[in-house]
Amino acid sequence: THNDGGGPKKQVLYAINREGKTRAAFPVVGPRFHDWEDIAIDDSGHLYLGDIGNNDSKEDKLAVYEIDEPDPTSGTGSISPKRGWTLKFPGAPFDCESLFIWKNYGYVISKVFDNARAQVFRFPLENTNEPLTLELVATTKIESPVTGADISADGSLLGLVSKAGAYVYRIDGNVARVTNVEPHHTKLKDQHIEGYCFVPDGLLATSERRNIFLFTDPAFCGK
């Protein structure tokens, strides 16, 4: 997990247990983060750090960095990104707090207000020094600011969380299906959830209030 925001004091990757106790801390050195908002993982043990926050839509670019997942039993030590991507908006800039990885693409989700529907965009995980323009993949029916996302290891489920609650879509590997598939929805109130990830026994969520939630309903476990 990580703290919201940017600057050297907040550029730290933390390993915590299910009770929320810190087990290790790894400062991220190299790039200076503007607004770190999410972490994602691929199927090869790489973590992706999303410097994607854009409050008031003032920034015209986002950034994502790849690192090797550190061993939480190794104590502490700084880590540096192996690769990075600069992302451009296909139109007007928007705020963003959600990142997930599927196959050879990274995906981000717009955090929008005033009952606008959240949209899913992607970018290729190719080696390049040039900015990449985000590509629209799907428009959800969620009319509440999305603050976290994850995809199950097998790609069958996509989880999104917003101020209106937690959603799980059965997409069977096709992210574009969130446009039409009806999700399983669990309402939440005033929890300020920002971290969201699938685990073997369900879907784990963390909030800005330092609470940890585990959803074990069959819909959250792919059953």
DSSP string for residues in 10-67: G-EEEEE-TT--EEEEEEB-SSPPS-B-EEEE-TTSEEEEEE---GGG--SEEEEEEE
Query: Of the candidates 37, 41, 35, which has an alpha carbon nearest to the alpha carbon of residue 67?
Result: 41
Order of strands, sheet of 202-207, starting from the edge strand that comes earlier in the sequence = 193-199, 202-207, 212-215
Spans of the chain, pLDDT less than 70: 222-223
Q: What is the CA radius of gyration of the chain?
A: 16
Interatomic CA distance for residues 102 and 40, integer angstroms: 10
Q: 63 with 89: CB under 8 angstroms? A: no
| All residues at 6 or more sequence positions from 84 whose CB lies less than 8 Å from its CB, including other chains | 31, 63, 64, 65, 66
Interatomic CA distance for residues 97 and 51, integer angstroms: 9
The DSSP call for residue 116 is P
Write down the residue that tokens 């247990």 correspond to: 17
pLDDT per position as a tens digit, 142-179: 999 999 999 999 999 999 999 889 999 999 999 999 99
Interatomic CA distance for residues 52 and 61, integer angstroms: 8
Interatomic CA distance for residues 141 and 64, integer angstroms: 26
CA 5 to chain centre: 14
Report residue 137 as tokens: 């993949």
